Structure 1
Amino acid sequence: MIATERGCTRPGCSTPATLTQVHHVTEYSKGGATDIENLTLACDACHAMIHDGPGGWKTVAMPADSEHAGRTGWIAPAHIDPTGMPQVNDRHHAGELMAASLARLRDRTRPPVKWWSRP
């Protein structure tokens, strides 16, 4: 898990994996399994933000058809993000960010193919 997640999974948090603890994405008390697929890393401060009360954050596993399949998505409380869209932390995955940025740059700078002028 440390090799995969590399640190706290809450968006924007830069805490390294060595200063995190294991968190159940679906809480054990709510039927969540203690399997690797249901576990993620969260630092103490971010772990304390996850609760069912007002202002509490939620965690979900990102679906297979998403850009970040299998990673942990964090859903901010409504007063922070009214859309309720899960977000992932990219801070510990700089290589993925760089690859996506380079792909977008290549797409923007690639000349259009003129299908009518093929030899």
Structure 2
Amino acid sequence: MDERRKFPRLDEAWPVRYRILEFSGKQVHRSRTINVSAGGVRFFTNASLKPGTLLELELLIPSDSLPVYSRGKVVWQGRVVWCKESGDKDLLPLEIGVEFVDIDDYDKKRLYSYISQRIEKKK
């Protein structure tokens, strides 16, 4: 089974910051999630990124004052799985799916716990 299908997904908009690792610049992009799981995240972007592109990401879990950090990077590193047009002209034009490839176990558990609790409350 593919990693991105092992975890429940939560459809919520969380702040996300990311940096494209292929570029030597330190430009940080800001966006909002479409959905998030302990295995990956889907969010809007204006950058057309090819599958396999590596990113550094920072997510803020709602009601948690600490962002999820991993190994001193912005937060964790992900690989773009897909990229397509979003279809919403008021938002950034593209959506990307990112699979987490380098995330601290503690942070992964924090994500999983929060997401599971939110999904249970929505039932």
Q: Report if TM-score (shorter chain) is over 0.5.
A: no
- Give the strand-richer structure, 1 or 2: 2
Q: Which has the larger radius of gyration?
A: 1
- Give the helix-richer structure, 1 or 2: 1
Give the number of the structure with larger relative contact order, counting CA–CA contacts within 8 Å between residues 6 or more apart: 2
Normalised by the size of structure 1, how large is the TM-score? 0.29
